[in-house]
Structure 1
Amino acid sequence: MTYFTWFFLDKEKDIIVNLYKDLDRIYYILKTPNHASGNLIRNIAKICDLKLSKDENDMLIIKGEVPCFIDGNNQENYIFKFGDTEIARIFPDGSVEVKATIPAIAKTLLSQSKEALLPLDKTLFETFIRKDLKFRADLHTHMNGNLTGDVLIALGIAHQIRYPLYYVKKLDLKLTQSQWDKLAEQREKVARQFVTSDLKGKYLDRKINDNTFINFADLILNNLDNAEENIVKIRGSLAVIKDGQAVFTNLEKVYIYRYVFCKGVESEEKISLIKRDMIPDKDVRAALMQMVRDKENPAYCHNTIFQDKLLWIARSYKRQGIVYAEISDTTLVKKYESLEMLRQVHEVMPSIYQETGVMIRFLAAMRRIPLTIIKDAVTPDNYLEQNLEVLKATALDPYVAGCDFVGEEINDIITLKPAFKELVKIAAADPSFVIRVHAGENDSQKDNIAHSIECVKDSLAPGQKMPKMRLGHGLYTYSLTSKKGKDTLKQLIDNNVVLEFQISSNVRLNNLNTLEKHPLKQYLKHGIACVQGTDGAALYGTDAIEEELSLKKMLGLTDKEVQLMKDAEKKIIEESQQAYSDKKAAFERLVKNKDFEEVLLDKMQTVKIASKNSKHEMKYDSNKILKEQISELTWDKFPVVLVGGSFNTENRATKLSTNATKQIDEMLNYLDPEEVFFVIGHKISGYEKYLLEHNDKGFKIYSFVPAVVTKREAEKIKNSGVKVRVSTESQAMGTYKSFNYEIFERRPSMVVAFDGNSAAANLIQEAKNGKGKSVILVWSKSKILMQKAKSLHGYAYSFDADKEIVELMESLKNKYSKELK
């Protein structure tokens, strides 16, 4: 057999079908090389009733023959099918016409579990949408999540960006010896600049490696023997994790990898790009060749990386049939960066629109909580005031459609209510100004949909109309049949609030573990305007077309329901296009012959908002107030993380079950304090409190606490006698990230989960994803956590009065002998 061609069954290039020819017969080998667990290919084989085998590298593969058919024109067609679904048509000249794919949402669910949980009709999608029902907008997306890894890699080569040594090592990229030698020489020079640094050990190494660079074009083009392997690794770093669901921590890390390209700095020493046609990946090669041609186009020849990014976003939208997009970006609330961004937008966007017919506008994004993953970043206490000061000016620009509150939803939006008073002032002057809030993305803040509307309504001036308002995600609120749920529905309807849905990101970010209770159909039934977004499609291996297919197939939307969404979208597109025209005319009158950056600087107004809600207690630095109890986690014992009180929403208390406390009693009797220690959250409540009160054998117990606590919380922690680990997160619901950093990523562990909301589900997912193997045990009476456990079939185990925890531990001893020793 000779190699013939290949194609992919997904957009992330995770499922590859290699084709081989022997005379007039074609054979296939299907592989999933980026999925180390093997769950994805095992589940595909099971759903499609196909036989698994192994290749020479002991990797699972699916092999078979592609049958040949003769069509009505007596032409040969090789038709690749799974079940009754035609996947692709292969022609004798080597061209392939793909007719069905596995969407990102299905791929994630198949990767997550050791047992297939989806039927064939929700695994393979035929990629056809009725023209009259095709969505034409992306109304919820993020600037640095739009472009595929292939396009970003091509951008990095075209602009010859600096690529840090840290990422070369982190991704285990292969370089030539001369490249390593050059990097070593440069690193030595960089290290001299840090001789007086207070940083030590790995922190100093990281700082030096972050500031030692290789020209990315050099990395790829002068290293072609390793280019294919390196491109695969780099591409993988630019999307969320493959083998299952991610959590917000993973998303933040992916954004950092993307910033190298999206906010790239060009290398001082350039190389020739003459070897560009030798790049082994055809998609990277094609994008780069077009970028080189663009340099000959007067409209694009001087494009910055940002301008090229906009151009390729628009080209991508054009291929997807999208004509209007609103992209959320935090740059627009940064004083001087926002002016530079808008200058570049005004320079290039007319040419982009002329080529693609795609109108791109922006939402100025403010973080609901400060970003903590970038360690050196210092967020001032008055960051929201500074954001609003800038927004007062940038909101005048026609390319700015409104604002957005972004970030992980682990706080009640009501705490930011003072900021909304300034936003509605902007909306009073500009009726087209959109106020969007990320709300209802997870179940930890079920009041956030209602509270977001309340924040706007209560901030209106007398007689002021309700501004245009959209809520991103809208998955979780109280039951729509309850009084609170009905009140929320009424507020949504009465105030013409639009809900935006992004099903792939919901699943891939661990916010949606079961599709049966998705609320979209209920909202449509009640007459609420609903639209689709992608949430930064490339992060999740999807696009606008696949998102629409997923909504329709996974949630069973009827054509009538899709039409309702299409109508809501059409209205927004028409109003937004008109708003752009009106604002453009007003902006030209405002600027006249003056420099628009100076005009906007003059329009920036000092903003003062209430820094504290009087209902909230003062908080103190945990490192200071709890310093006597802070202690490193011991390494001579095995950690057992007990979840049962700290990861509930603020208004939800854990109710103790006699059967559950009996499990704790038996576990304490079974385990040995010389071998095991416990780790809990900061609330010292529920099952965590019970553990402390019944710790007669003297187990060491550590509590992870947020970076700031109230005096009352501090006293409770002090009185409990626990040892303390202080999280980098100031929000209590975000401390699950520290459990990951200090336990799941570093060492074997066990999680025993009795109760909790989304933060507890995130902690469980982090335990599954972590580099240190974790045994996950979940109390079967916890409905919320059992949804998570079921999605982790084969990785999480349930226990209850009928299958007691000690019995389960005994049965798992052989499987996890090291961990449970």
Structure 2
Amino acid sequence: MTYFTCFFLDNEKDIIVSLYKDLDKMYYVLTTPNHSTGNLIRNLAAICKLPLSQDDKGMLVIKGEIPCYVDGYNEESYIFSLGDIEVARIYPDGRIEMKAAIPAISKTLMSQTKDYQLGLDKTVFKTFVRKDLKFSADLHTHMNGNLSGDMLIALGICHQIRYPLYYVKKLDLKLTQEQWDKVNAQRAKVARQFITSPLTGKYLDRKINDNTFINFADLILNNLGNAEMNIVKIRGSLSVIKDGQAVFTNLEKVYLYRYVFCKGKESDDKIDINNADLIPDEDVKKYLKQMLRDRENPDYAQNTIFQDKLLWIARYYKKQGVSYAEISDTTLVKKYESIEMLRQVHQVMPKIYQETGVMIRFLAAMRRIPLTIVKDAVTPSDYLEQNLAVLRATALDPYVAGCDFVGEEINDIITLKPVFKEIVKIAAGDPYFVIRVHAGENDSWKDNIAHSIECVIDSLAPGQAMPRMRLGHGLYTYSLRSNKGKDVLKKLKDNNVVLEFQITSNVRLNNLNSLEHHPLRQYLKQGIMCVQGSDGAALYGTNSIDEELSLERMLGLSQNDLRLMKDTETRIIEDSRKAYSDKKAAFYDMLKGRDMEEVLLEKMQTVRISKSAHKTVPKFDANRELKEEIEELAWDRLPVILIGGSFNTESRATKVTNEGIRQLEKLMKFLDPEEVYFVIGHKLSGYEKYLLEHNKKKFTIYAVVPAAVSKKEVEKLKASGVKIRVSTETEGMGIYKSFNYEIFERRPSLVVAFDGNSAAANLIQEARNGKGKSAIMVWSHSKTLWQKARSLHGYVEFFDENNDVVVKIKELLAKQKGKS
């Protein structure tokens, strides 16, 4: 057999179908090399009733013959099918017509579990949407999540960006000896600049490697022998994890990898890049060659990386049939960066629109909580006041449609009510100004949808009309049949609030584990306006068409449901185009020929946020207040993470049951304090409290606490006698990230989960994803955690009155012993 060609069943190139010919017969080999657990290919083989085998490397593969057909014109084609669904038509000249694909949402659910429950009809989708129902906007997306990994790699080569040595080593990229010699010589020079640095060990190494660079074009084009595998590794780093659901921590890490390209700086040491034809990846080569042709086009010849990024975002939208997009970006609330961004937008967007017909506008994004993943970043205490001062000016630009509150939803939005007051003042001068809030993305704060609307209403001046308002995600609130739920519906309807849904990102970020309870159909039935977004499609391996098909197939939307969404979207597009036209005229009238920077800087007047009427508890630095109790986690014993008290919202307490206590007592009796220690959260409530009060065997107990704690919490923690680990997160709902960093990524562990909201579900997912391997036990009577555990079939054991926790642990230990 001779190799013929290949194609992919998904957008992320994770499911590869390689084709081989032997005379007039064609054969295929289906592989999933980026999915190491094997769940994806096992589940796919099971639902398609196809045999599995192993290749010469021991990897699971699906092999078979593709039948040849002759049509009425006597033209031959080979038809590749999965079950009874035609997926691709392959012609003898190498042309491939894709008829169906596996969307990212189905791929994630298959990767997540050892027992995939959805059928073929919800796994392999025909890639067709009725023209009159096709969505034409992306109203919820983020600036650095739109371009695919292949596009970013091509962009990095074209602009010859600096690529940090840290990522070369982190991704285990292969360099030539000449490249290693050159980069190591540069590293030695960089190291001399940090000779007086207080950093030591791995922290110093990281700092040096972050500031040592290789020209990315050099890395690929002068290293063609390793280019294919290097491109695969780099592409993988630019999307969320493959083998299951991710959590917000993973998303933040992916953004750091993407920033290297999206915010790239060009290398001083340029090379000749005329050998693009030798790049082994066809898509990267195709994009790079077009970028090089663009340099011969006067419209784009002088494009910056940012301008090229906009151009390719628009081109990709055009390909997907999207004509209008609003992209959320934090740059627009930064003083000088915002002006430079808008200057570049005004230079290139008219040309982009002329080519593509795609209008791109922006939402100025403010973080609901400071970003913590960038270790050296220092966020000033008045960062929101600084953001508002800039927003006052940038909101005047016609390309700015409004503002957005972004970031992980781990705090009550009502704490930002004073910020809303200032935003509503801005909206008073612009009838088209959009106030968008990420709300209801997870189940931690079920009041956030209602509170978001209340924050705007309560901030209105006398006689001021309600501004245009949209809520991103809108998944979780109280039952729509309850009094609180009915009140939410009334607020949404009375104030013409639009809900935005992004089903793939909800699943891939561990915010949606049960599709049958998705509220979209209920909202549409109640007359609530709803639209679709992508949330940064490239991050999640999706696109506009896949998202619409996923909503339709996974949630059972009718054509009437889709038409209601389409009608809402059409009205928004029409209003937005009019807004752009009106604001453009007003903007240039305001400038009166003066430079944009001069005028906008004048408009950036200091903002002072009034103190919130919402009662807040003063917080203190946990590292300082609890310094005597802080101690490293022991390495000579196994950590047992007890979930049952700290991982709820402030308004929800864990209900301790008699049977739950019996199970915990059995666990404490079985475990040996010489072999294990317990790790809990910071509230010391529920089952955590019982553990502390009945610790007869004197287990060592650690509590992971947020970086900001109240005086009452300090006193309670000191009195309890627990040892302390301080998280980098200031909010209690975010401390699950520290469990991942200190435990799941570094060592084996046992997780025993009784109760919790999304933070507990995230902690369980982190335990499943971690390198350290965790045994996970979930109390079957916890509704939220039961749904999470069910999505992790094969990785989680349930315990209850009929399934003793100790028996389950012994069975698990016996299995592990048998494997070893």
Structure-1-length-normalised TM-score: 0.99
Q: Distance in 2 between matches of 1:40 and 1:48?
A: 12
Equivalent residue, structure 2, for 1:592:
592
Aligned counterpart, 1:123:
123
Tell me the equivalent position of 1:711. 711
Q: How does 1:336-355 map to 2 (within 5 A)?
A: 336-355=336-355
Correspondence list, 1:436-585, <5 A: 436-585=436-585
Coordinate RMSD, CA, aligned: 0.9
1:256 and 2:263 matched:
no
DSSP-derived class of the 1:623 partner: helix
Question: Using the alignment, how far apart are the partners of 2:697 and 2:130 within structure 1?
Answer: 67
Cα displacement (A) at 1:596: 1.1
Superposition deviation, residue 817 in structure 1: 4.1
Matches within 5 A, 1:299-310: 299-310=299-310
- Tell me how far apart the structure 1 counterparts of residues 274 and 244 of structure 2 sit (CA, whole Å): 40
State how far apart, in whole Å, the 1-side matches of 2:642 and 2:402 are. 43
Query: 1:417 matched to which residue of 2?
Result: 417
Which position in structure 1 is the counterpart of 2:366? Answer: 366
**Structure 2 unaligned regions, length at least 5:** none
Moved more, 72-81 or 43-52: 72-81
- Name the stretch that deviates more: 596-605 or 325-334: 596-605
Separation (CA, whole Å) in 2 of partners of 1:184 and 1:5: 39
Question: What is the rounded CA distance, in whole Å, between the counterparts of 2:713 and 2:614 in structure 1?
Answer: 18
What residue is the counterpart of 2:747 in the other structure? 747
8 Å CA contact retained: 1:404, 1:435: yes
3-state SS of paired residue (1:94): coil
DSSP-derived class of the 2:477 partner: coil
* CA displacement at 1:814 relative to structure 2: 2.0
Name the SS for the 2:387 alignment partner: helix
Provide the rounded CA distance (Å) in 2 between the counterparts of 1:816 and 1:58: 21
Matched residue, 1:76 = 76
Q: Which amino acid aligns with 1:38?
A: G
Asked if 1 retains the 8 angstrom alpha-carbon contact of 2:443 and 2:477, the reply is yes
Contact 1:433/1:467 (8 A) holds in 2: yes
2:809 aligns with 809
Correspondence list, 1:384-423, <5 A: 384-423=384-423
In the alignment, what sits opposite 2:297? 297
* Counterpart code for 1:167: Y
Per-residue CA distance 1:651-704 (angstroms, 9 max, x = gap): 001111100110000000001000000000000000000111111000000000
Q: Secondary structure at the match of 1:816?
A: helix
Contact 2:636–2:675 (Cα < 8 Å) also in 1: yes
C-alpha displacement of 1:493: 0.1
- The one-letter amino acid of 1:266's match is E
Deviations 1:427-484 (A, max 9, x none): 1000100000000000001000000000000000000000000000000000000000
Indicate if the aligned counterparts of 1:28 and 1:63 stay in contact, CA closer than 8 A: yes
Q: Does the 8 Å CA contact 1:411/1:445 hold for their aligned counterparts?
A: yes
CA contact (8 A) 2:417 2:612 kept: no
User: Which residue type is aligned with residue 161 of structure 2?
Assistant: I
Distance 2:642 2:137 in 1: 45
1:268 partnered with 2:280 = no
Distance 2:215 2:111 in 1: 35
TM-superposed CA distance for 1:501, in Å, is: 0.2
Which residue in the other structure is 1:379 paired with?
379
Instruction: Tell me by how many angstroms 1:626 deviates.
Output: 1.0
Counterparts of 1:671 and 1:424 in 2: how far apart (Å)?
A: 57
Residue of structure 1 equivalent to 2:158: 158
> Corresponding residue for 1:92?
92
Distance across 1 between alignment mates of 2:765 and 2:327: 29
Partner Cα distance (1:60, 1:499) in 2: 42
Aligned to 2:4: 4
- Other-structure match for 1:31: 31
Q: Mapping of 1:185-200 within 5 angstroms?
A: 185-200=185-200
Q: Deviations over 1:133-166 (max 9, x none)?
A: 0000000000000000000000000000000000
Partners of 1:116 and 1:531 lie apart in 2 by 29
Distance 1:772 1:247 in 2: 17
Give the secondary structure class of the aligned counterpart of 1:344: helix
Instruction: Give, in angstroms, the shift of residue 605 of structure 1.
Output: 1.3
- Which residue does 2:778 correspond to in 1? 778
| Distance in 1, Cα, partners of 2:146 & 2:385 | 29
Q: 2 CA distance for matches of 1:615 and 1:138?
A: 37
Aligned partners of 2:414 and 2:614 also within 8 Å: no
Match for 2:514: what amino acid? Answer: T
Kept after mapping to 2: 8 A contact 1:109/1:117: no
The runs of 5 or more residues in structure 1 that have no matched partner are: none
Q: Please give the alpha-carbon distance, in whole angstroms, between the structure 2 residues aligned to 1:209 and 1:119.
A: 47
For residues 145 and 815 of structure 1, the distance between their equivalents in structure 2, rounded to whole angstroms, comes to 42
Mapped partners of 1:458, 1:400: distance in 2: 24
Answer yes or no: is 1:735 the counterpart of 2:723.
no
Structure 1 position 608 matched with structure 2 position 629:
no
Superposed CA offset, 1:303-345 (max 9, x none): 0000000000000000000000000000000000000000000
Query: Letter of the aligned partner of 2:212 in structure 1?
Result: T
Separation in 2, partners of 1:523, 1:614: 30
Q: CA deviation at 1:613?
A: 5.2
Question: Per-residue CA shift, 1:707-733, capped at 9, x if unaligned?
Answer: 011011111111111000000000000
Change (3 A) 1:21 1:818: closer
1:612: Cα distance to partner? Answer: 5.5
Contact 1:637 1:675 in 2 (8 A): yes
1:815 is paired with a residue whose SS is: helix
The reply on whether 1:677 has 2:677 as its aligned counterpart is yes
The one-letter code sitting in structure 2 at the alignment partner of 1:280 is P
Q: What fraction of aligned residue pairs are identical, expressed as a percent?
A: 74
Corresponding residue for residue 184 of structure 1: 184
Asked whether the equivalents of residues 415 and 613 of structure 1 are also in contact (C-alpha less than 8 Å), the reply is no
Q: 1:624: how far off?
A: 1.2
TM-score, L = length of structure 2: 0.99
State the 1:207 CA deviation.
0.2
Give the distance between the partners of 1:408 and 1:523, measured in 2 at CA.
24
Decide whether the 8 Å contact of 2:146 with 2:537 is kept in 1. yes
Give the structure 2 partner of residue 65 of structure 1.
65
> Is the contact made by 1:221 and 1:273 (CA closer than 8 Å) also made in structure 2?
yes
* Deviation of 1:610 (Å): 3.1
Q: Which amino acid aligns with 1:312?
A: W
Q: 2-side partners of 1:358 and 1:497: how far apart?
A: 25
- CA change 1:818–1:197 in 2 (3 A) is farther
Partner of 1:315: 315
